[in-house]
Structure 1
């Protein structure tokens, strides 16, 4: 069991971040008076939340995964849903990468043309 300051430091997040996820119902630390106490379960949930955010999942999607984790002891449904969402995210990211590659190509071409034009003007 750890207090909010220790958990924030351990996870590299702000107190505000922990309070936000509590408000959103993703974590539920115990209360002793006004003090929040985080169990290993809550810290584990926060690690999953942070990983989900890094991977680009929405709060709603992360909540759905966590709810399935709690409701499905064998984690079969959760894993199926996770695979679905991961595949969707991969498709989105690959599309974004193609768009970025095209933009980079076009900007490089413009840069080369502008550099060539500038060098001609200087002669």
Structure 2
């Protein structure tokens, strides 16, 4: 990392592979609070840790409100026990939702494959019928 203590918005973007707009969005949602010196934003180690949690939460499908709750627990509880328990509960809920989505997708994929097989059979039959019709046509027509 360029500076162990503070990073500019460009350095954050490069480090975390996000856009400046993304960082400003999280700032507007009060998930990040960089130091502001004039128009420049400087991100501390704390903000980098918060962004790591935000990005991980988004990757796992957590809502911004769930992520906010986790971040707020970090700020309130020095022992991190409450944060760990809340994060664990949220993760369990998210895992159940993801498994349900996977199961629903598995069924939908099976249904679509069956429809494609039916469609392929209908196409093959139609091609065969067309070929027979063309072969049965009287010469010169």
Normalised by the length of structure 1, the TM-score is 0.95
2:85 matches 1:90: no
- Runs (5+) with no aligned partner, structure 1: none
Considering only aligned residues, what root-mean-square deviation do their CA atoms show, in Å? Answer: 1.0
Q: Paired residue for 1:12? A: 17
Query: How many Å apart are 1:33 and its aligned residue?
Result: 1.8
> What does 1:1-123 align with in structure 2 at a 5 Å threshold?
1-123=6-128
Query: How many Å apart are 1:20 and its aligned residue?
Result: 1.0
Kindly indicate whether structure 1 or structure 2 has the higher relative contact order, using CA contacts under 8 Å at least 6 residues apart: 1
Match of 2:33, SS state, is coil
Query: How many Å apart are 1:97 and its aligned residue?
Result: 0.9
Larger Rg computed on CA atoms: 2
Query: How many Å apart are 1:122 and its aligned residue?
Result: 2.2
- Runs (5+) with no aligned partner, structure 2: 1-5, 129-141
